[in-house]
């Protein structure tokens, strides 16, 4: 689960970080894959990845792809290890509805891995610079 993720908008020679969240502020889940396998020496390796899809209208401002975000009603389908037919899962790998999301600029503190504080999620600048999926013409 996540409460947001960051993307960067090119602004000339610099990049402005933006925090992308759900409009209602609730946590959400990315679609991912996890596996355990053996390396050539026979050691167990655990690995994971987040799947991506085409961006919705909100994310397109920042990037040519977006993490797949799954609706809570679809968690049990995605996590059901008995579902082996890709045709049952492919409909979940679509852009999330932009009207359920919002984005706003944040401090460049997020550009430094040692920064781990609420300040990384604090909006900066004019609140009117925030973008929401329900206000797409403002992008």
Q: What is the CATH number of the domain that holds 80?
A: 3.90.1680.10
**Which H/E stretch holds residue 86?**
helix 86-89
Tell which wins on pLDDT, 35 or 126: 35
Tell which wins on pLDDT, 118 or 126: 118
pLDDT of residue 131: 74
Q: What separation in angstroms does the CA of 121 have from each of 7, 28, 136? A: 12, 16, 22
Q: Looking at the domain assignment, is residue 130 inside a domain? A: no
Q: Looking at the domain assignment, is residue 78 inside a domain? A: yes
Q: Looking at the domain assignment, is residue 136 inside a domain? A: no
Q: Looking at the domain assignment, is residue 62 inside a domain? A: yes
How far, in Å, CA of 89 to CA of 43, rounded? 31
Q: Looking at the domain assignment, is residue 79 inside a domain? A: yes
Centre a 10 Å sphere on the Cβ of residue 23 and count the other Cβ atoms it contains: 14
Q: Looking at the domain assignment, is residue 86 inside a domain? A: yes
Q: Is the pLDDT of residue 138 over 60?
A: no
- Closest Cα to residue 130, out of 110, 103, 107, 106? 103
> Is residue 117 exposed (0-12), middle (13-18) or buried (19+ Cβ within 10 Å)?
exposed
Instruction: Print the domain residue range for 40.
Output: 5-116
Q: Looking at the domain assignment, is residue 88 inside a domain? A: yes
- Closest Cα to residue 54, out of 6, 95, 96? 95
Residue range 94-118: mean pLDDT, rounded: 95
Query: pTM of the prediction?
Result: 0.85
pLDDT band of residue 50 (cuts 50, 70, 90) is: very high
Mean pLDDT of the chain: 92
Q: Is the pLDDT of residue 107 over 50?
A: yes
Q: Is the pLDDT of residue 53 over 60?
A: yes
Q: Total domain count for the chain?
A: 1
């Amino acid at each position: 689960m996540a409460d947001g993720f960051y993307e960067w908008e090119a602004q000339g020679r610099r990049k402005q970080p933006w925090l992308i969240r759900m409009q209602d502020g609730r946590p959400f889940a990315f679609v991912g894959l996890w596996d355990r396998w053996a390396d050539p020496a026979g050691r167990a390796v655990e690995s994971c990845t987040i799947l991506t899809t085409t961006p919705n209208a909100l994310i397109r401002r920042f990037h040519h792809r977006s993490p797949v975000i799954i609706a809570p009603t679809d968690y049990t389908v995605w996590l059901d290890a008995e579902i082996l037919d890709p045709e049952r899962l492919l409909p979940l790998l679509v852009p999330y509805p932009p009207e359920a999301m919002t984005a706003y600029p944040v401090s460049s503190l997020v550009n430094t891995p040692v920064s781990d504080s609420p300040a990384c999620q604090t909006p900066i600048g004019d609140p009117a610079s925030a973008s929401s999926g329900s206000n797409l013409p403002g992008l």
